[in-house]
Amino acid sequence: MTGELLLEVKDLHVHFPTPDGVVKAVDGLSFKVHRGETFGIVGESGSGKSVTNLTALGLIDREKARVSGEVLFMGRDLLKLSAGELRKVRGKDLSMIFQDPFACLHPFYRVGDQIAEAILCHAEMDKRRVKARVIEMLDAVGIPNPESRYRDYPHQYSGGMRQRAMIAMALVHNPALVIADEPTTALDVTVQAQILELIDRIKKDFNIGVILITHDLGVVADVAQSVMVMYAGRGAELGARDRVFNQPLHPYSWGLLESIPQIDQKGTRLVPIEGAPPSLIHVPKGCPFHPRCPHRFEPCDKERPDLVDRGGGHPDACHLSIEDKKRLWDERESRRSKVIA
C-alpha cells in the first residue's frame, strides 16, 4: 500500500436485538484502508456493508444496537468518541456519499445552500467566500454553469448531477477518507460510469482514501485497488484487486465472479449462486456460506473459518486447502469458458 493508514476496523460486531432474535448484521469484521487507495467492499445486499460504515460514522442508533470492536480512524477509536466529538469528524475528515441521490438532498432547500451548510458547520467563513467555495466545488465535480446551478432545487437536477452535488458536499473540507455506499446503484449505466470516473479522479486529485461499497464486482474491478468480499457480516476474502480477480480463494467469490457478464469473452456462461443469502438471525454454524457451497466438506458446518492468510497469498476464510482452491477454481474457469455451440 502506498499511503498512510487511515482507517482500521478491528473485530467489529454490530448486533441488533429485535423481537424475532438478534440480527448479527456485522459479526467480527476487520480491515484497513490507506490514503490513496480505493477499497472496495463487495457482497450481496443484506451482507452488512452499510451497517459497517454507518456504525463507523455513528449514524446508527446506538441505543438499538450492541456494538463491539474498534474503528480506528487516524489513530482515534470512533466508537469511543462522544456524539459531539464524532460530529466534528463527520463531514470534515470522514465523509459519506449515499446510494440514492434522489432521496439524499432535502427537497425544500437549494442545492447550493445545502452544500454551504456543510461548509459552515465546520468552519466560520463570510457568506461570499462560502458561496465562492460552493461554486468552486460544483465546478470541480463537473456541474455545468455552477453559478446558476447554485440556486436550483434538487428536483431541477438530474440523478447524475445530484450525485455529483453529493460528492461536492462530501469534499468541501478536504476529508481524508470518503465512504461511498453504492453511489451508482440508483443511476443509469452511462451515468454510473461517469460517477465512478469522477470518484476515481477526486481520489487522485485530492489524494484521499475511498471506501467503495457495492454489490457489483464489475464496479470494483474498474476502480478499486483492494477488495474485501463480505458474506453474512464477515469477510470472506480480502486482497489486492488483481489477486482477488485472478486467483480468488473463496467459493463465494467464485460464485460472484461467475455471475458477472464478461463482454470480451464470448460464450462464457453466467452462473447464478445457488440458494439465498442466510438470515442474519440464524446464521449457519461454522462457515456461514456452507449451505450454499458446492465444495463443502466435514469442518465447514462445525468450525468457523477466520479471515487469515492460509497460504494463498492473501487472506481468505475457507477451510479448503490451498491446492484444492487452485484446482477447483481452474476447473470452474475452464468449464465456464467452454464456448456454448
Ligand X SMILES: Nc1ncnc2c1ncn2[C@@H]1O[C@H](COP(=O)(O)OP(=O)(O)O)[C@@H](O)[C@H]1O
Binding site for ligand X (CB under 6 A): 16, 18, 23, 25, 43, 45-51, 64, 280
State the nearest-atom distance from the C-beta of 60 to Mg ion, in Å: 12
Residue 235 binds which entry of Mg ion, other proteins, ligand X, none, CB below 5-8 Å type-dependent: none
* For other proteins, the closer CB: 80 or 106: 106
Backbone angles phi, psi at 336, to 5 degrees: -70, -40
Residue 243 binds which entry of ligand X, other proteins, Mg ion, none, CB below 5-8 Å type-dependent: none
Tell me the β-bridge partners of 16. 23
Residue that has been written with the C-alpha cell 487507495 in this structure: 37
Residue partners of 36: CB distance under 8 A and separation at least 6: 1, 2, 3, 203, 207, 208, 209
Judged by CB under 5 A, does residue 184 bind Mg ion? no
* For Mg ion, the closer CB: 54 or 138: 54
- Cβ–Cβ < 8 Å for 183, 163: yes
* For ligand X, the closer CB: 49 or 90: 49
Name which of residues 34 to 73 contact Mg ion (CB under 5 A). 50
Residue 292 binds which entry of Mg ion, other proteins, ligand X, none, CB below 5-8 Å type-dependent: none
* For ligand X, the closer CB: 172 or 244: 244
* For ligand X, the closer CB: 50 or 225: 50
Other Cβ atoms less than 10 A from the Cβ of 280: the count is 22
Contacts from 268-277 at CB under 8 Å and sequence distance 24+?
Answer: 268/336, 268/337, 269/336, 269/340, 271/336, 277/44, 277/45, 277/46, 277/47, 277/232
Residue 232 binds which entry of Mg ion, other proteins, ligand X, none, CB below 5-8 Å type-dependent: none
Question: Would you tell me which residues interact with other proteins (CB under 8 A)?
Answer: 57, 59, 87-92, 95-96, 98, 100, 103-109, 117-118, 121-122, 153, 155, 166, 169-170
Residue 98 binds which entry of Mg ion, ligand X, other proteins, none, CB below 5-8 Å type-dependent: other proteins
Whole-angstrom distance, CA of residue 37 vs CA of residue 203 = 8
* For other proteins, the closer CB: 58 or 235: 58
Residue 249 binds which entry of other proteins, Mg ion, ligand X, none, CB below 5-8 Å type-dependent: none
Contacts from 287-290 at CB under 8 Å and sequence distance 24+?
Answer: 287/317, 287/318, 287/319, 288/231, 288/232, 288/234, 289/231, 289/232, 289/236, 289/250, 289/251, 289/252
State the nearest-atom distance from the C-beta of 120 to other proteins, in Å: 9
State the nearest-atom distance from the C-beta of 50 to Mg ion, in Å: 3
State the nearest-atom distance from the C-beta of 325 to Mg ion, in Å: 29
Report CA-CA distances (Å) from 287 to 14, 52, 162, 174, 300.
18, 20, 40, 40, 5
* For other proteins, the closer CB: 90 or 296: 90
Other Cβ atoms less than 10 A from the Cβ of 58: the count is 20
State the nearest-atom distance from the C-beta of 166 to other proteins, in Å: 8
Whole-angstrom distance, CA of residue 28 vs CA of residue 40 = 18
State the nearest-atom distance from the C-beta of 213 to ligand X, in Å: 7
In the complex, the residues that contact Mg ion under the rule CB under 5 A are 50
